[in-house]
Amino acid sequence: MYKEFMSTFHKAVLAAGRDIEEINLIAVSKRKPIKAIDQVYKAGQLSFGENQIQEIERKWPDFKKENSNSQLHFIGNIQSRKVGSIHENCEVIHSLDRIKVVKLFAEIEKLKNVRRQYFIQINTGNESQKSGVILSDANKFISECLESYNLNIVGLMCIPPLNEDPKEHFLMLADMAKNFNLSSLSMGMSNDFHIALECGATHIRIGTKIFGERN
């Protein structure tokens, strides 16, 4: 399944006029066993995404000891009491959306002297049930994160509303990132990655098309 998807993905990258080297494909392995992750890893995939820290704590420490070149991306809602574990286990965090959490990561980095990469999650559809900074607060939040905390914030992330054209949301995110000179865009999933590529995505999060349906 992974190899089939990679063939499709390479074609989509070419069709969008992009270079495969500038795209970080993240295999979203939530609710998938280590056996399935290992198969995809052995096929050449290095970046993986999870959204539950409890699942990460259970599955990943031993795997990462054996496969030190694998990279783990945290893509879920961040609970403040779990910030320490997220920082310890994940190289890239995609879902900063509260100053309280930003401060906690900044404190841990100072204490441990370990740098991670961060994305700020923007709730481009202003959906009440979804994580992310709402649009009216976005500019202020991004400015504060960049100016007041010594975190390596590389870009912005979004998950468009299901019933809307994702292109509008991807272009909005790209414009916002450009305004702040942020070079990375975490956007695009199994159903809309080709549109995300056209809109400048640098990090694509794919679950179903790599691992199949979840139980």
Predicted TM-score (pTM) of the model is: 0.96
**pLDDT tens across 32-41, in order?**
999 999 999 9
Cα dist from 31 to 39, 92, 171, 195, 207, whole Å: 15, 19, 31, 26, 10
**pLDDT tens across 153-165, in order?**
999 999 999 989 9
The phi, psi pair for 25, rounded to 5°, reads -85, 125
Q: What is the pLDDT along the chain (215 residues), one digit of tens a residue?
A: 999 999 999 999 999 999 999 999 999 999 999 999 999 999 999 999 999 999 999 999 999 999 999 999 999 999 999 999 999 999 999 999 999 999 999 999 999 999 999 999 999 999 999 999 999 999 999 999 999 999 999 999 999 999 899 999 999 999 999 999 999 999 999 999 999 999 999 999 999 999 988 76
SS3 76: coil
Specify the pLDDT at position 214: 72
Best CA proximity match to 38, nearest among 54, 57, 62, 8: 62
**pLDDT tens across 33-78, in order?**
999 999 999 999 999 999 999 999 999 999 999 999 999 999 999 9
Question: Domain 2-211 has what CATH class?
Answer: alpha beta
How many angstroms separate the CA atoms of 178 and 155, rounded?
A: 9
**Strand partners of residue 48:** 27, 72
Rg (CA), the chain: 17
Specify the pLDDT at position 138: 98
Specify the pLDDT at position 215: 67
**Strand partners of residue 153:** 118
